[in-house]
Amino acid sequence: MARAVTRDLTRLGLVLTPGVVRGRWVARCALVVLGVLAGAAGLRVYDESQASRTAPLSVAAPATDAAAPLKQQLEQSQLTLRVAESRSQELERQIATLVQQLRESQEELTFFKKTRDSKSSAPKTRTSRAAQVEAEPAPAP
């Protein structure tokens, strides 16, 4: 049955032509113009509502009396910060120097341990004066 319906549709000749309607394009243009005007009006209402929510910023006269102590406090804080940074850099430099000295001391200690170990592992010989005296022949009378 589905095939019969499809065959019937293909046998019919379909012709798509615009009807004789002369006033539709004018109506469509009018709808587009009305849509643009409505959008512009809505945007203006939205902008006005946003403007009423935010209070306008008023430019106040410079308050030099209240600003002077704050400015002095700011300068003092900046000076304190600079001093703290320079102190930190000096401490880092001192730490680096101490670490270098520690490495050198450890290298010296390692060297001394190796030389001590090599001496202790070598065969022991008597080098004292008493050993030398014992090794000399007794003088003849």
Identity at 13, one-letter amino acid code: G
**Is residue 139 one of the residues assigned to a domain?**
no
Single out the residue of 122, 125, 119 nearest to residue 134, CA to CA: 125
Asked whether residue 102 is assigned to any structural domain, the reply reads yes
**Per-residue exposure over 78-87, b if at least 16 CB sit within 10 Å of its own CB, e if not:** eeeeeeeeee
In a domain, 100, yes or no: yes
Residue range(s) defining the domain that contains residue 79: 71-118
Domain count along the chain: 1
- Inside any domain, residue 88: yes
Instruction: Report pLDDT for 121.
Output: 77
Any domain includes 131: no
Torsion sign, CA atoms 117, 119, 125, 127: negative
E strand or H helix that includes residue 29: helix 24-53
The answer to whether residue 96 sits within a structural domain is: yes
Confirm whether 92 is domain-assigned. yes
pLDDT digits (tens, 9 = 90+) for 5-55: 666 666 666 566 655 556 677 777 788 888 888 888 888 888 777 776 665
